[in-house]
Structure 1
Amino acid sequence: MTLYMPLFRSCTSLRTLTQLHAHLFVSSLHKDPLASTKLIESYARLDSLQSARQVFETFQNPDFFMVGVLLKCYVWNRFFEEGIQLYYKMLYHGIHINRFIFPSILRACSGFGDLGSCGKLHGRLIKCGFDSDPVVETSLLSVYGEMGCIDIARKVFDAMPIKDVVSWSSMVELSVENGEANEGLETFRWMVSEGVNPDSVSMLSVGEACGDLGFLRLAKSVHGHVVRRKMESDGSLDNSLVVMYGKCGDLVSAEKMFQEITHPRTASWTAMISCYNQTGYFRKALDVFVEMQDSKAEPNSVTIMSILSSCARLGLLKEGKSIICFAIRKDLDPNLDLLGPALLELYAECGKLSNCEKILLTTGEENVVSWNMLIGSYARKGFLREALGLFAQMHAKGLMPDSFSLASSLSACGNASLIQFGHQIHCHIIKRGYFDEFVRNSLIDMYSKCGFVDSAYLIFDSLKKRSVVSWNSMICGFSQNGYSVEAIGLFDQMYLNCLEVNEVTFLSVIQACSQIGYLEKGKWAHHKVIIYGVKKDIYIDTALLDMYAKSGDLRTAQGVFNSMSERSIVSWSAMIAGYGMHGRVNAAISLFNQMLESGIKPNDVTFMNILSACSHAGAVEEGRSYFSLMKDFGIEPNTEHFSCIVDLLSRAGDLDGAYEIIKSMPLPVDASIWGALLNGCRIHRRMDMFENIQRDISDICTDDTGYYTLLSNIYAEGGNWDEFGKVRLKMKGIGLKKVPGYSTIDLNKRTYRFGAGDHSLHPQMREIYSFLENFQSLARGHDYNMEYVSSLSDNCLLSSDVNNVLRQFEPAYT
Structure 2
Amino acid sequence: MKVKQNLHRAIDFMRSREPATSNDYTRLVLHCVRANDFTQAKRLQSHMENNLFQPKDSFLHNQLLHLYAKCGKLYDARNLFDKMSKRDVYSWNALLSAYAKVGMVEDLHAVFCQMPYRDSVSYNTLIACFSSKGYSCKALRVLVMMQEDGFQPTQHSYVNALQACSQLLDFWRGKQIHGRVVVADCGGNAFIGNALTDMYAKCGDIGRARWLFDGMANKNVVSWNLMINGYVKMGNADECIRLFNMMQLSGLKPDQITISNVLNVYFQCGRVDDARKMFSAIPKKDEICWTTMIVGYVQSGREEDALILFGDMLRGNIKPDSYTISSVVSSCAKLASLYHGQVIHGKVILMGIDDNMPVCSALVDMYCKCGVTLDAWVIFQTMPVRNVITWNAMIRGYAQNGQVQEALVLYERMLQENFRADNISFVAVLSACINADMVEEGQKYFDSISEHGMTPTLDHYACMITLLGRSGNIDKAVDLIKGMPHEPDYLIWSTLLSACAKKGDINNAELAANHLFELDPHNAGPYITLSNLYAACGRWKDVAFVRSLMKNNNAKKFAAYSWIEVENEVHRFVSEDRTHPEVEKIYAKLNHLISILQKIGYNPDTNIVLHNVGEEEKLRSISYHSEKLALAFALIRKPNVVAPIRIIKNIRVCDDCHAFMKFASITIGKPIILRDSNRFHHFFGGSCSCKDHW
Instruction: State whether TM-score is above 0.5.
Output: yes
Tell me the secondary structure at the aligned position of residue 342 of structure 2. helix
> Residues 601-631 of structure 1: CA distance to partner in whole angstroms, max 9, x if unpaired?
3333333333333333333223333333333
Q: Distance in 1 between matches of 2:459 and 2:196?
A: 36
Query: Aligned residue for 2:340?
Result: 521
Tell me the secondary structure at the aligned position of residue 466 of structure 1. coil
Distance 1:368 1:647, change over 3 A: farther
Amino acid at match of 1:796: S
Amino acid at match of 2:307: I
Please say if 1:726 is aligned against 2:548.
yes
Query: Aligned residue for 1:609?
Result: 428
Distance 1:361 1:313, change over 3 A: closer
> Residues 516-557 of structure 1: CA distance to partner in whole angstroms, max 9, x if unpaired?
112221222122122123484322222121111112221222
For the Cα contact (< 8 Å) 2:513–2:526, is it kept in 1? Answer: no
Q: Distance in 1 between matches of 2:34 and 2:521?
A: 58
Query: Aligned residue for 1:422?
Result: 240
Over the matched positions of the two proteins, sequence identity in percent amounts to: 20
Please say if 1:651 is aligned against 2:651.
no
Please say if 1:773 is aligned against 2:594.
yes
Q: Distance in 1 between matches of 2:197 and 2:461?
A: 38
Tell me the secondary structure at the aligned position of residue 809 of structure 1. coil
Q: Distance in 2 between matches of 1:500 and 1:206?
A: 32
Query: Aligned residue for 1:272?
Result: 98
1:64-213 alignment, distance < 5 Å: none
Tell me the secondary structure at the aligned position of residue 285 of structure 2. coil
Distance 1:254 1:577, change over 3 A: same
Query: Aligned residue for 2:454?
Result: 635
Unaligned runs of 5+ in 1: 1-164, 166-198, 208-221, 247-252, 278-283
Which residue of the other structure, out of 739, 744, 747, is the alignment partner of 2:564? 744
Query: Aligned residue for 1:437?
Result: 255
What's the offset of the Cα at 1:297? 7.0
1:213-292 alignment, distance < 5 Å: 242=68, 246=72, 255-256=75-76, 259=79, 265=91, 268-277=94-103, 284-291=104-111
> Residues 11-44 of structure 1: CA distance to partner in whole angstroms, max 9, x if unpaired?
xxxxxxxxxxxxxxxxxxxxxxxxxxxxxxxxxx
What's the offset of the Cα at 1:436? 1.9
Q: For the aligned residues, what is the CA RMSD?
A: 4.5
> Residues 207-243 of structure 1: CA distance to partner in whole angstroms, max 9, x if unpaired?
7xxxxxxxxxxxxxx766999999xx99999678657
Which residue of the other structure, out of 160, 164, 168, is the alignment partner of 1:342? 160
Q: Distance in 2 between matches of 1:593 and 1:276?
A: 45
For the Cα contact (< 8 Å) 1:410–1:446, is it kept in 2? Answer: no
Which residue of the other structure, out of 155, 170, 178, is the alignment partner of 1:353? 170
Distance 1:783 1:466, change over 3 A: closer
Q: Distance in 2 between matches of 1:200 and 1:716?
A: 94
Which residue of the other structure, out of 511, 518, 525, is the alignment partner of 1:699? 518
Query: Aligned residue for 1:469?
Result: 288
For the Cα contact (< 8 Å) 1:740–1:755, is it kept in 2? Answer: yes
Which residue of the other structure, out of 639, 645, 651, is the alignment partner of 1:809? 639
Q: After alignment, is 425-434 or 482-491 more displaced?
A: 425-434
> Residues 752-803 of structure 1: CA distance to partner in whole angstroms, max 9, x if unpaired?
3333332333524224533652576367449999979x99954222699999
Query: Aligned residue for 2:648?
Result: none
For the Cα contact (< 8 Å) 2:68–2:74, is it kept in 1? Answer: yes
Query: Aligned residue for 1:540?
Result: 359
> Residues 711-768 of structure 1: CA distance to partner in whole angstroms, max 9, x if unpaired?
443344442332242244146x26x3422322223x3434333333323335242245
Distance 1:692 1:494, change over 3 A: closer
Amino acid at match of 1:339: S
What's the offset of the Cα at 1:426? 3.1
Tell me the secondary structure at the aligned position of residue 332 of structure 2. helix
Q: Distance in 1 between matches of 2:379 and 2:343?
A: 15
Distance 1:373 1:488, change over 3 A: farther
Amino acid at match of 1:770: N
Which residue of the other structure, out of 489, 493, 503, is the alignment partner of 1:684? 503
Please say if 1:673 is aligned against 2:673.
no
Q: After alignment, is 632-641 or 409-418 more displaced?
A: 409-418
Q: After alignment, is 543-552 or 503-512 more displaced?
A: 503-512
Q: Distance in 2 between matches of 1:775 and 1:524?
A: 37
Please say if 1:453 is aligned against 2:272.
yes
Q: Distance in 1 between matches of 2:517 and 2:113?
A: 76
Q: After alignment, is 432-441 or 513-522 more displaced?
A: 432-441
Q: Distance in 1 between matches of 2:400 and 2:201?
A: 36
Q: Distance in 2 between matches of 1:793 and 1:526?
A: 38
Q: Distance in 2 between matches of 1:201 and 1:786?
A: 93
Unaligned runs of 5+ in 2: 4-27, 46-58, 610-618, 642-694
Distance 1:465 1:321, change over 3 A: closer
Which residue of the other structure, out of 309, 323, 328, is the alignment partner of 2:147? 328
For the Cα contact (< 8 Å) 1:476–1:508, is it kept in 2? Answer: yes
Tell me the secondary structure at the aligned position of residue 563 of structure 2. strand
Query: Aligned residue for 1:569?
Result: 388
Please say if 1:598 is aligned against 2:417.
yes
Please say if 1:795 is aligned against 2:613.
no
For the Cα contact (< 8 Å) 2:415–2:421, is it kept in 1? Answer: yes
> Residues 422-475 of structure 1: CA distance to partner in whole angstroms, max 9, x if unpaired?
334335434544432332222112222333222211111111111122211111
Distance 1:766 1:453, change over 3 A: same
Q: Distance in 1 between matches of 2:199 and 2:378?
A: 40
1:34-49 alignment, distance < 5 Å: none
For the Cα contact (< 8 Å) 2:136–2:164, is it kept in 1? Answer: yes
Amino acid at match of 1:795: H
What's the offset of the Cα at 1:490? 0.6
Tell me the secondary structure at the aligned position of residue 743 of structure 1. strand
Q: Distance in 2 between matches of 1:602 and 1:729?
A: 45
For the Cα contact (< 8 Å) 1:387–1:412, is it kept in 2? Answer: no
Tell me the secondary structure at the aligned position of residue 635 of structure 1. coil
Choose between structure 1 and 2: higher helix proportion.
1
For the Cα contact (< 8 Å) 2:159–2:192, is it kept in 1? Answer: yes
For the Cα contact (< 8 Å) 2:494–2:513, is it kept in 1? Answer: no
Distance 1:604 1:798, change over 3 A: farther
Tell me the secondary structure at the aligned position of residue 570 of structure 2. strand
For the Cα contact (< 8 Å) 1:573–1:606, is it kept in 2? Answer: yes
Tell me the secondary structure at the aligned position of residue 338 of structure 1. helix
Query: Aligned residue for 1:478?
Result: 297
For the Cα contact (< 8 Å) 1:487–1:509, is it kept in 2? Answer: yes
For the Cα contact (< 8 Å) 2:398–2:407, is it kept in 1? Answer: yes
Q: Distance in 1 between matches of 2:175 and 2:532?
A: 61
Query: Aligned residue for 1:65?
Result: none
Which residue of the other structure, out of 619, 622, 641, is the alignment partner of 2:441? 622
For the Cα contact (< 8 Å) 1:289–1:307, is it kept in 2? Answer: yes
Query: Aligned residue for 2:666?
Result: none
Distance 1:637 1:319, change over 3 A: same
Distance 1:430 1:259, change over 3 A: same
Q: What is the TM-score when the length of structure 1 is the normalising length?
A: 0.61
Amino acid at match of 1:739: A
Distance 1:555 1:396, change over 3 A: same
